[in-house]
Structure 1
Amino acid sequence: MRTSNDLRNSKIPLVHGTGAIPAVGFGSLIPDRAAAKQAIKNALEVGFRHIDGAELYRTEDAVGEAIREALEAGTVTREELFVATKLWNNNHRPERVKAAFEASLRRLQLDYLDSYLIHTPFAFKPGDELFPANERGELIYDSGVTLIETWREMERLVDEGRVRSIGLSDITLETLKEIVEVARIKPAVVQVECHPYLPEWELLEFCQQHGIVFVAFAPLGHTMEPRVTDDPVIKAIAQRVGKTPTQVALAWAAQRGTAFLTTSTNPAHIRENFDISPLPQDAMEEMRHRITTSIRLNPVVDTGVPGFVPRSK
């Protein structure tokens, strides 16, 4: 399925879309816009070609500026880039999808997107509030729209040629199966929390069977406890192969057939996250069978509220 054995530059073809997605990706969930812009510029200079954003992150404008400056400097060409962003929960109503998409395009300063994802399968009350709440502070969900109806509008964006692939994020296998069953244009990409403590083997197998690219976010566990990079199995492998635990965990992600997203504002960490190499097969087997910790760190699949995103706005 991959187009290169070099993990850093490998790509996964989009069966249900156009082109291929670089396995090694960089996320833009960085609250400070100036820091986000600089981090993305650093990532592009290091070699990242897959940039992931979201309406919710409020950094699409910073992503757009970083990409524009990189294009003007000749660091990359638009054809080399794979840029994705996401529709937020308050825009699930069919009449709001296209406007939200076009607003993201304007902020990103792009003519088209390589991928557009439904951020979560949960619809919130439509309007300007990112997290609409009642007088008790409880989220107001929108029972007036179904995920299928939102998906139909996503399909129309593909028909219009403004986006080359569509997909879903923060979704369970059961809900994904429901969409795959009825979709005219099948999901090209599914993005979920995934790391050695949450390998999602069943979901990965389903995606591979149906030509869906699996993208792992928080591939290092978002530095939360228990820390993936402190795992004794991973640390022992890292010492054996001459890489850091971070690089071992990321290589594992790419080598098992997924794409992944890392985020950092530290230039040294950005370089480290890109500089991955294939692991020996016995190391892959060890990570599958000897790592015993199992934990989900982000409750978003149950609530539609991303656990890693500040709710300040």
Structure 2
Amino acid sequence: MSYEAFHDELRDTRFALNHGSAQMPAVGFGTLFKDLGVTTQAITHALETGFRHFDCAERYRNEESVGVALQAFMDAGKARREDLFITTKLWNTNHRPERVLPAFEASCRRLQVDYIDCYLIHTPFAFQAGDDQDPRDAFGHVLYDSGVTLIDTWRALEQLVDQGRCRSIGLSDITLEALKEIVAVARIKPAVVQVESHPYLPEWELLEYCKEHGIILLAFAPLGHGMEPNVLEDEVILGIARHLQRTPAQVALAWAVQRGVAFLTTSATPAHIQENFDITTLPHRAMLEIRQEITTRIRFNSVVETGVPGFIPRKQ
């Protein structure tokens, strides 16, 4: 089914970054796939659909495949580099300041770009430095690095901005308390904070703080990652979707943008990629219903507690 007839301006929303003149498209595409082999084709579909904001990470191990798709699209004259907003992330094993620039440059090479629009610290947790992305001891416990602080790493990111290598910097998988500590001492303030957020984890307090400081809140898992309890099967969301003749996903994504949040969705299915792009404005009443009537509160990804990404199955 095509929703093209419903097109309004919502999907074209852009949020201004607090540093420099760039703007982040609110509608973003994540690049973490279970099957890395689908990466290039999925990114190509997303580009053809209209997505211009792509969220990458060295940890995803597919930046090269993303770069191939982006480069081919630009080579075909379908977009210029400045039309694209490309984010990537520094992994936990590269928090030591001397490791930041080499990690950043390696990401640029893989993505085939000269600069990054936004560079994020993937999590606030420093892991033991080295080539093993998931360092563990003999008992399977993560090996953390107590010799480096988050602000040490942040200072190294500030230097990347000074050098013109990245337009903006930010944090991911961080709590409000930890964010406040960085904002208090940062010379260049975080422009973006990427966290899990959806109608079951609205993060209103964090969003309010971000708005006060001109920080963009970027939501991953905005549809609840298909986990139980399923956000897209919530009675409130379903009711609004039926009433507006939209899909539950389109309701949840429109809700995100209208409350001032950018989002990332990931799919390798062309129909889903199209659906997630074709969002339209919800009536004020629907926004109120979602805020007031959805009381379920759940976090699906425990990364904020450990620095180890992973969605937790709630029931067998």
Per the TM superposition, whether the score is higher than 0.5 is yes
Partner in structure 2 of residue 61 of structure 1: 64
Residue 160 of structure 2: SS of its match in structure 1?
A: helix
Equivalent position to 1:97, from 91, 95, 100: 100
- What letter is aligned with 2:84? L
Equivalent position to 2:196, from 176, 193, 196: 193
Give the percent of matched residue pairs that are identical in Structure 1 and Structure 2: 65
* Alignment length (residue pairs): 305
Q: Is the 8 A contact 2:10 2:280 kept in 1?
A: yes
Partner in structure 2 of residue 170 of structure 1: 173
Partner in structure 2 of residue 230 of structure 1: 233
Equivalent position to 1:282, from 266, 269, 285: 285
Question: 1:20 and 2:27 equivalent?
Answer: no
Cα pair distance change 1:271/1:106, threshold 3 Å? same
Residue 164 of structure 1: SS of its match in structure 2?
A: strand
Equivalent residues in 2 for 1:249-288 (5 A)?
Answer: 249-288=252-291
CA distance in 2, matches of 1:138, 1:17: 41
CA distance in 2, matches of 1:117, 1:262: 18
Q: Is the 8 A contact 1:132 1:140 kept in 2?
A: yes
Question: 1:214 and 2:220 equivalent?
Answer: no
Structure 1 unpaired stretches of 5+: none
| TM-score, normalisation: structure 2 | 0.95
Residue 68 of structure 2: SS of its match in structure 1?
A: helix
Equivalent position to 1:241, from 231, 237, 244: 244
Structure 2 unpaired stretches of 5+: 1-7
CA distance in 2, matches of 1:281, 1:225: 28
Task: Give 4+ residue runs of structure 1 displaced > 6 Å after superposition.
Answer: none
Partner in structure 2 of residue 144 of structure 1: 147
Residue 287 of structure 1: SS of its match in structure 2?
A: helix
- What letter is aligned with 1:244? T
CA distance in 2, matches of 1:165, 1:308: 28
State the 1:18 CA deviation.
Answer: 3.4
CA distance in 1, matches of 2:36, 2:300: 25
State the 1:6 CA deviation.
Answer: 1.3
Q: Cα deviation per residue 1:170-214 (whole Å; 9 max; x = unaligned)?
A: 000000000000000000000000000000000000000000011
For the aligned residues, what is the CA RMSD?
Answer: 1.0
CA distance in 2, matches of 1:295, 1:177: 23
Residue 62 of structure 1: SS of its match in structure 2?
A: helix
Partner in structure 2 of residue 294 of structure 1: 297
CA distance in 2, matches of 1:49, 1:207: 23
Partner in structure 2 of residue 72 of structure 1: 75
- What letter is aligned with 1:209? E
State the 1:57 CA deviation.
Answer: 0.3
